[in-house]
Structure 1
Amino acid sequence: MRPIYTHLLAFTIVLLLASCGEQNEKKEIVEEVKVEKPFTEDWKSLGEHKESPEWFKDSKLGIYFHWGVYSVPAYSNEWYPRWMHFKDHKVYKHHLEKYGHPSEFGYHDFIPMFKAEKFNAEEWAALFHDSGAKFSGPVAEHHDGFAMWDSDITPWNVMDMGPKRDVTGEIEKAIRAKGMKLITAFHHAKNLQRATKLGEDVKISHFPNFEGMPTTSDDPKLQMLYGNMEHEKWYKEMWLGKLKEVIDKYNPDIVWFDYVLGDIPEKYRKEFAAYYLNAAAEKGKEVVIVRKQHDLPLNMSVEDLEQARKNVIGTKTWMTDATISKGSWCYTDNLGVKKSKDVLHTLIDIVSKNGVLLLNVSPKADGTIPDDQKEGLLKMGNWLKKYGEAIYGTEAWYTFGEGPTKEPDGHFENHKAFLELEYSNKDVRYTTKDYEIYAIVMGAVSPEKELLLKSFAKKNILDAPSIENVSFLGSKEKIKWSYSEEEGLRVKAPSTQVDNMATVIKITISQ
């Protein structure tokens, strides 16, 4: 009889174990269903996101690039795809003479010419890293509807056409290998054709609804490029769908938006933000959303000022996007480039006011970055290698600076005034970190020149610091200095010139 009981007991145990296993599986499934994502699609929930994590505040400099099909004609600017359709515009006349009528040679006909045969992601990443950037990445899609990544949503992408390479994928791997974070910039809110009548142009749309042009084609494939689609379908599948795809494939640390974002229905903006923030939370990442106008709340996004900047200290971290060039954001045959010291001074001014600079470079269609742009980047990078402690990880002091040069008010509408600004060694900008205050003179300081930093005078500062030491970064000489409550901090420069781009005075205060 004992063997029978033994078999019955064993069978019962097997049943119990199987039942427990089944219950555990069910429990696991139930638990999976019960897991809640931290962010829901409402502004209150999204506002709980830390819009400016410490890594972003400390980064100070990022580099991105306007590079795409619009780089092929290399004429006027990156808005070539739009202006080639307007008879009274110089781009139309240029296009007509060089390529033919836009009804016969459309923007899409440039795509086979965009070969990027010399593009080397590792070389680009090394350049950006050596320039001092802490994050970098592409304009993932401009207004033109062409995706600079391997897309399953649209056939108009770099993997299926043109270069037949995953540009975003290659650059993502290369910059992460250099210890930088990834930014992907999106301008595609403007791609949708919002005109409802043939022959009509709506300015917030990139492509006009002109008769006989590829932009008004009834070919479903061309409609995906030119944004000539039913609006709701485009919002969901193209605008939102592309964002989700890039988030899923490349895990960007920053998603940056150009203007016209406010014309995307609010429900889709909320859906994007929740999707992105939840994806980041799942990976344990702190990410950043940057917007240009009042189209996302500032408690969950960072403010960006195009080709402009604040003339006061920002109470929150903010950003300027600016070009290394003097004109177009994309490469053109006659593109002028700013002096490296002017770009550096822009960075210093921005950092002194709690800002971050996103600097644009303009590669050629073949994938090379012109030498004059490289030179400007590397000169700035060399300065940052020597004096970066006055930039990275700092914050604004009680005042951003002193001197005669003042920034104008406003945003992009005053960008020409900002471009004309030129600082001199009479201008000083301040940053601070721990028990150090950095006074950055915007230029060279003559040997043994006496400087008076008036911001330290008692009338200008509520709580005058107790100064322990003053030194010039890049010099080993012991510096002569004196402090007067009435005048401020008086400093005598070293016997030899330290730097000709910008000079950093380090003031150490007591703890």
Structure 2
Amino acid sequence: MKKSLILAGLAASVLSFGTSAQQHSEQDHSKYVWPKDELVKKKLDNWQDIKFGLLMHWGTYSEWGIVESWSLCPEDEGWCERRGTSSANYFEYKKAYENLQTTFNPVKFAPEKWADAAQKAGMKYVVFTTKHHDGFCMFDSKYTNYKVTDAKTPFSSNPRSNIAKEVFDAFRKKDFMVGAYFSKPDWNTPSYWWPYFPPKDRNVNYDPKKYPQKWQEFKDFTYNQIEELMTQYGKMDILWLDGGWVRPFSTIDPNISWQKTIPYDQDIDMAKIAAMGRKNQPGLLVVDRTVTGEFENYVTPEQSIPDHYMPIPWETCTTMGTSWSYVPNDKYKSLREIIHMLVDIVAKNGNLLLNVAPGPDGEWHNEAYQRMEEMGKWVSVNGESIYGTKPVAPYREGQWAFTGKEKSTYLTYLAKEGETVPTTIVLPWKKVDKATQITLIGEPKPLKYKVTPNGIEVAVPEKVRTAVASQPAWVFKVANK
């Protein structure tokens, strides 16, 4: 992933929060391939029901408080900018960056605390970065020494040094679905960035057709590391693959700007990887991001929300703060922003995967815990309008969002800052019968209403208005018998 650069404006098909969204917003979702494996379909249905997850980007880069991995990439882009005393010389910088392994020691690491906070916030699945593009493994891979469990890493002496395993175990104990983020490109391994050539950009730095044996080494390396994750880390629900430029040349869409810059065929044999993953983890969801086809079980717009309902499985992955990685004194989104995102996404048939980045000591910012607690208070009351629901047409209309399940329809009003529930409010809905009851979720007593040409006019008593006065969104439940 790339560091987000906040922009204003409406893209053609997405509400974009940053330039990193571009590679996902241009994707042709009409080519989505529904899975045929019954276990995969069942797990995908379950995943679509749980709606809300936690993503964590964490690695040695947290020690410098910089963007994850991208400062190693020799491209002239904002997210690749190098800083610090060695930034003037690329090779000195890369050596200093990789030397962070020798000081990484997150002594406050306690994943049970994260799992507890996420559960209270209403999250139900987790995706953890086992390896980002820089190649540093947060798991005990036997195929590299560039890992948290290597003797060069101070934290390796800690009994919980196999960080990915500890995270997965802690969240499983809270009944979370568990996902492994894994970067397909690896800028540390000599079979991807071959030391014989200097790296030119994010891509492999040699022509795989010219050096097929070297590329086969990389394919084997990638397969073997993923196999470790699929066989040694307990039940796995999601394999979440990043680095979409590592792909077969035949999948490149010439109409998509960033894909036109991929110089080589970088086929790593996803069919073989997926088959191995599902042999060891039946029903495994495979998310080969931006590579449209049978190995992208759901699509993942990044730092963006589609401006319309999408009939395929999808997930917005976005940051609670301004960065995917830990930044000192980061600015976090407000409760109102997060709840509005969640409601908007669910009404359009998506899930929200919200990123929180641990720091070099193994802790979150205090504000992250605070926001989790605030989210939990709203979700604990209004969760029935989120979990297990389906979008209901017209999906979004002004400040209203529509979801439903069984015989109930939920009309959620996304309140602006300082906006309060009026004494009467018109719901943009007319489907009622004599047995219909309307309530404001959290208040059990049915509200009085009448159907008008503009919708259902509901009277809201003062006691009810006071009870939800500080809420970022109000959920009206229209229940038919």
1:66 aligns with 2:57: yes
What is residue 307 of structure 1 aligned with on the other side?
303
1:136 aligns with 2:133: no
Correspondent of 2:111 among 111, 114, 121: 121
Report the Cα distance in structure 1 between the residues aligned to 2:395 and 2:47, rounded to whole angstroms.
Answer: 20
What TM-score, normalized to structure 2?
0.77
Report the Cα distance in structure 2 between the residues aligned to 1:247 and 1:451, rounded to whole angstroms.
Answer: 52
Report the Cα distance in structure 2 between the residues aligned to 1:294 and 1:91, rounded to whole angstroms.
Answer: 27
Correspondent of 2:37 among 48, 52, 55: 48
Report the Cα distance in structure 2 between the residues aligned to 1:152 and 1:195, rounded to whole angstroms.
Answer: 20
Structure 1 pair 261–395 and aligned structure 2 pair: CA distance change class (3 A) = farther
| Conserved 8 A contact 1:292-1:306 | no
What is the deviation of 1:47?
Answer: 3.8
Q: Deviations over 1:413-450 (max 9, x none)?
A: xxxxxxxxxxxxxx111110111111111127634432
What is residue 243 of structure 1 aligned with on the other side?
226
What is the deviation of 1:55?
Answer: 1.8
Report the Cα distance in structure 2 between the residues aligned to 1:500 and 1:45, rounded to whole angstroms.
Answer: 38
Correspondent of 2:402 among 418, 430, 445: 430
What is residue 279 of structure 1 aligned with on the other side?
280
Percent identical across equivalent pairs?
23
What is residue 504 of structure 1 aligned with on the other side?
475
Report the Cα distance in structure 2 between the residues aligned to 1:470 and 1:295, rounded to whole angstroms.
Answer: 42
Report the Cα distance in structure 1 between the residues aligned to 2:34 and 2:422, rounded to whole angstroms.
Answer: 57
Report the Cα distance in structure 1 between the residues aligned to 2:292 and 2:193, rounded to whole angstroms.
Answer: 18
What is the deviation of 1:190?
Answer: 5.4
Correspondent of 1:332 among 327, 330, 338: 327
Unaligned stretches of 5+ in structure 2?
1-31, 207-212, 249-265
| Conserved 8 A contact 1:261-1:295 | no
Report the Cα distance in structure 1 between the residues aligned to 2:196 and 2:390, rounded to whole angstroms.
Answer: 52
What is the deviation of 1:253?
Answer: 0.7
| Conserved 8 A contact 1:431-1:438 | yes
Report the Cα distance in structure 1 between the residues aligned to 2:403 and 2:78, rounded to whole angstroms.
Answer: 49
| Conserved 8 A contact 2:298-2:314 | yes
What is residue 253 of structure 1 aligned with on the other side?
237
1:389 aligns with 2:384: yes
Structure 1 pair 197–88 and aligned structure 2 pair: CA distance change class (3 A) = farther
Correspondent of 1:169 among 165, 172, 186: 165
Q: CA RMSD in A?
A: 3.1
The number of residues matched between the two structures is 408
Q: Which amino acid aligns with 2:217?
A: K
What is residue 135 of structure 2 aligned with on the other side?
145
Report the Cα distance in structure 2 between the residues aligned to 1:88 and 1:475, rounded to whole angstroms.
Answer: 49
Superposed, which structure 2 residues align to 1:174-323 within 5 Å?
174-189=170-185, 191=187, 193=192, 198-199=197-198, 201-204=200-203, 230-237=214-221, 239-250=222-233, 251-260=235-244, 262-263=246-247, 265-266=266-267, 268-281=269-282, 286-297=283-294, 301-323=297-319
| Conserved 8 A contact 1:83-1:92 | no
1:158 aligns with 2:154: no
Structure 1 pair 179–144 and aligned structure 2 pair: CA distance change class (3 A) = same
Correspondent of 1:471 among 436, 439, 461: 439
What is the deviation of 1:324?
Answer: 0.3
Mean Cα displacement is larger for which, 258-267 or 147-156?
258-267
What is the deviation of 1:72?
Answer: 1.1
- Which of the two has greater helix per residue? 1
Q: Deviations over 1:214-245 (max 9, x none)?
A: xxxxxxxxxxxxxxx922201222x2211111
Report the Cα distance in structure 2 between the residues aligned to 1:375 and 1:88, rounded to whole angstroms.
Answer: 31
What is the deviation of 1:101?
Answer: 7.2
What is the deviation of 1:103?
Answer: 5.8
1:442 aligns with 2:442: no
Structure 1 pair 53–258 and aligned structure 2 pair: CA distance change class (3 A) = same
What is the deviation of 1:481?
Answer: 1.2
- Say which SS state the counterpart of residue 396 (structure 1) adopts: strand
Unaligned stretches of 5+ in structure 1?
1-42, 210-228, 404-426, 458-463
- Say which SS state the counterpart of residue 64 (structure 2) adopts: coil
Structure 1 pair 280–200 and aligned structure 2 pair: CA distance change class (3 A) = closer
Report the Cα distance in structure 2 between the residues aligned to 1:295 and 1:262, rounded to whole angstroms.
Answer: 13
- Say which SS state the counterpart of residue 287 (structure 2) adopts: strand
| Conserved 8 A contact 2:239-2:286 | yes
- Say which SS state the counterpart of residue 380 (structure 2) adopts: helix
What is residue 9 of structure 2 aligned with on the other side?
none
Report the Cα distance in structure 1 between the residues aligned to 2:202 and 2:146, rounded to whole angstroms.
Answer: 23
| Conserved 8 A contact 1:190-1:204 | no
What is the deviation of 1:179?
Answer: 1.4
Correspondent of 1:367 among 336, 353, 362: 362
Correspondent of 1:488 among 447, 455, 458: 455
Q: Deviations over 1:135-168 (max 9, x none)?
A: 1141111001111112122222222253220111
Structure 1 pair 87–290 and aligned structure 2 pair: CA distance change class (3 A) = closer
- Say which SS state the counterpart of residue 139 (structure 1) adopts: strand
Q: Which amino acid aligns with 1:442?
A: L
Structure 1 pair 446–107 and aligned structure 2 pair: CA distance change class (3 A) = closer
What TM-score, normalized to structure 1?
0.73
What is the deviation of 1:294?
Answer: 3.0
